[in-house]
Amino acid sequence: MRRSDDGLDNGPPLLPLSILETVWPFFSERHSFIAQGFQFAGSIFRFKLLRDTVIVVSGERARTEFLTSKYLDINEGFKVLSGAIPMLPGVTSNLNTGVITLIHKRLSNAQSSERLENLIPYILSDIDRAVTTWSSDLIDPFAAIPTLCFQTSVRCLACHELADDASLVGRLRVLYDKLDTSTTPASVLLPWLPSPSMVTKLRASKKVYDIIDGAIRARLDSGISRDDTLQMLIDSGDDKLIIVGFIMGLLVAGARSTGTTASWLVTFLAEDIERRQKARDEIHALLSLHAYVIDNAKESVAELLSAIPLEAWEKGTPVLDKLIRETLRIAQPHAAMRRNMGPDIYVDGTCVPSGSYIVYPFSDVHLNSQLYVDPWRFDPDRAQVEGKYSYVGWGGGTTVCLGQRLAKLEMKLILAILLLRSDFTLVDRNGNCPTSAPRPNWNDHLHCKPTKACFVRFDEHKNC
């Protein structure tokens, strides 16, 4: 094996690997690749991605300095090291700082209390309708739940016309799946090369653009104003490219992160009857406080839950909050990615040259047995861990998840529908209790599916 020369004579240890031995593992088995790097080099190392230098750091001091540095840019880091977004220059990529700031402002507006309060009945109706169409009482949570989350994300971040059209939502979902599968090392590191994966990615991006552009034109031509995110963007006077880019980019979260977390949330609860009951009791308590109904038989589950105000969902669900927090810790295999856009800086005493990339894997904190005893064990009742940024499920420092308010609400509403409709238990494909609990696959950095398929059985009172 040869050692690449990047001119960092005093930098962190350089992995003694060829380009072929770094590029593919970083994109296909990132968790294992990073873990092996730490085994070889200790708490910090570097490697080459073609011409780019990537530094990987770990430890509390590095984590704190990484998360709080004003020179480390998440957008530049994500663009080169991830690349799994629709690729349309000026729409979803190559955006200037002003446009990015505006998109963040609009996302905050889309999650205002008034807007979320108005969205709750729609979200619940979407969830209830989808659950009733599941053709079997045995479902794959890692297929059904992300599909459900994508539907609710279209409802909340796009417009009612798209969300009400099941065929269009299905087409969008397929196109975003193509964006996932076409994100290869070649399409990320050599975007100018017309490789088959890049051509597929560009075609899928253009088709997503056309669907969203068509919805915008139809709304404008109709002259009808509707209470949704699209109307908010139109009324704000935003340029059409910004509107399209906002919707295209943010639907990625519904297709991936929220769907992944919700899938594992349901899976973890499916194997824990005691915690299922605690969560169900919490939902019943909310209903007893807020949903005064004369004749329950005339009310659907969605209609009953719609009576619960936003404030109660956000401040009156400590059990659900703990469940979501612990699920994020175990089942979100993030590696935070940044690019140093300022002068040379130091992270944990190591120089990070201007223009280089830096990665901090969340496994360093979330799967750290010194911080979380038996870290793979799902235990929402864990005591709060002491230490700087000892939990980064929603990010930390200068960068936190801007869509977390909506994501939390969606997951709580999904759980509420499922818990009230039926009981559910974890089984194998034959309907039998599994011999061992599934474990999140951190090498699957987009979806985190378990290596062995598992299923959830829905029924009234039967339990394994």
DSSP of 437-463, one letter per residue? -----TT-TTT---SS--EEEEESS--
Q: Is residue 386 part of a domain?
A: yes
Quickly tell me which residue has 């020179």 as its tokens: 71
Q: Is residue 391 part of a domain?
A: yes
pLDDT in tens, 265-291: 999 999 999 999 999 999 999 999 997
Average pLDDT, the chain: 89
Q: Annotated binding residue at 351?
A: no
pLDDT in tens, 375-429: 999 999 998 888 889 999 999 998 899 999 999 999 999 999 999 988 899 999 8
DSSP 8-state code for residue 393: B
Q: What is the largest CA-CA distance in the chain?
A: 76
Task: Give the separation between CA 341 and CA 73, rounded to whole angstroms.
Answer: 6
pTM score, whole prediction:
0.92
Q: Is residue 325 part of a domain?
A: no
Q: What is the model's pLDDT at position 247?
A: 93
C-beta of residue 203 within 8 angstroms of C-beta of residue 221: no
C-beta of residue 176 within 8 angstroms of C-beta of residue 247: no
List Cα–Cα distances, 195 to 77, 188, 198, 209, 214, in angstroms: 22, 11, 5, 21, 29
pLDDT in tens, 160-175: 999 999 999 999 999 9
CATH number of the CATH domain containing 34: 3.30.43.20
The rounded percent of the chain whose pLDDT value lies above 70 is 91
Q: Is residue 68 part of a domain?
A: yes
- Does the pLDDT value for residue 445 go beyond 70? yes
Task: Give the separation between CA 249 and CA 102, rounded to whole angstroms.
Answer: 13
Q: Is residue 36 part of a domain?
A: yes
Residues in the chain: 464
Q: Is residue 93 part of a domain?
A: no
Per DSSP, the residues of 234-299 read HHTT--HHHHHHHHHHHHHHHHTHHHHHHHHHHHHHHT-HHHHHHHHHHHHHHHHHH---S-GGGS
pLDDT in tens, 57-83: 999 999 999 999 999 998 888 776 665
C-beta of residue 209 within 8 angstroms of C-beta of residue 248: yes
Query: Of 323, 86, 289, which Cα lies nearest the Cα of 205?
Result: 86
Band (1; pLDDT cuts 50, 70, 90): very low
Q: Is residue 367 part of a domain?
A: yes
Q: Is residue 61 part of a domain?
A: yes
Domain count, the chain: 1
Task: Give the separation between CA 176 and CA 414, rounded to whole angstroms.
Answer: 22
C-beta of residue 153 within 8 angstroms of C-beta of residue 258: yes
Q: Which structural domain, as residue segments, surrounds residue 366?
A: 19-85+330-396
pLDDT in tens, 344-353: 999 999 999 9
Q: What is the model's pLDDT at position 462?
A: 43
- Torsion angle, alpha carbons of 358, 363, 182, 176, to 10: -110
